[in-house]
Amino acid sequence: MSKIEYKTLNDHAYEAIKKGLMAAEFGPGQPLIIRNLAETYGISTTPVREALQRLVAERLLDLLPNRTIAVPELNAEKFAEILRIRCALEGLAAELGAKYLEKVHLRRLKKLLQAMEAALERDDYDTYRSTNQQFHFTLYDCADSPQLLQIIQDLWGRAGPYMKVLFMDGRYRTIANDEHRKIIAALEDGDISGVRDHIVSDVESACLIILEELQAKPTLLNQPGPS
């Protein structure tokens, strides 16, 4: 019999804020106000404060000289470094995940792809980003490599606040699911190297657009989100 996992309010607040970073609920440079976050998540300020301190210690958030806690801002060089690391590690996670993926996971990936398609049709980009996150980590979870998964989550937490940039113009919208469809096809064919290649292409196609924006405008404007 498996044990029931116990999570403190600190853990729940930590996971909620980290998922928010990964899904672009917070924008670059955005200050995170403890009281507002506590109201958003329906908990007291103490676990939120402790969660923010954990995220600062992990360098997913910055503690500014005035003691404000804010989402880090990345320059083009730092973002490009994250892109290189993401391609290497997510390619590995996809390859490992494809080896151990079961039919139930493939069915879930297909449903998530349908949900992403529907989100794009109604211009619901928040839902698209959160569903895209679920798509990737459904595959990565199958790798059964907790340390690798943790590193990838941290990298998504660093890059995630910039994901709203993708839909500032129409370029990305037209290609957003191209690689996802190819990933499904490769999984159905048992093409493990193809799964890896298409995951890398998916990460690159999104991040290169963001990188172009960062190079043109070194400090992107904050994106609205809960604070």
Answer yes or no: is pLDDT of 5 > 50. Answer: no
Distances (CA, A) of 212 to 75, 96, 116, 159: 11, 31, 24, 14
Span 42-53, average pLDDT: 94
**Range(s) within the chain of domains with CATH label 1.10.10.10:** 9-70
- In this prediction, residue 224 carries a pLDDT of 42
Distance between CA atoms of 117 and 114, rounded to whole angstroms?
A: 5
Answer yes or no: is pLDDT of 217 > 60. Answer: yes
| Tens of pLDDT, residues 13-24 | 999 999 999 999
- In this prediction, residue 227 carries a pLDDT of 36
**Range(s) within the chain of domains with CATH label 1.20.120.530:** 76-216
CA torsion sign, 13 to 23 to 135 to 212?
Answer: negative
- In this prediction, residue 218 carries a pLDDT of 64
Span 201-223, average pLDDT: 82
Looking at the structure, give the CATH architecture of the domain made up of residues 76-216. Up-down Bundle (1.20)
pTM of the model: 0.88
The encoded tokens of residue 186 equal 């490769």
HSE at residue 220, side-chain half, CA atoms within 13 A, is 28
The burial class, CB within 10 Å (0-12 / 13-18 / 19+), for 71 is: buried
Classified by CATH at the fold level, domain 9-70 comes out as Arc Repressor Mutant, subunit A (1.10.10)
- In this prediction, residue 225 carries a pLDDT of 42
More confident residue, 202 or 227: 202
**Distant-in-sequence, close-in-space partners of 179: CB < 8 Å, separation ≥ 6:** 198, 199, 201, 202, 205
> What does pLDDT average to over the chain?
91
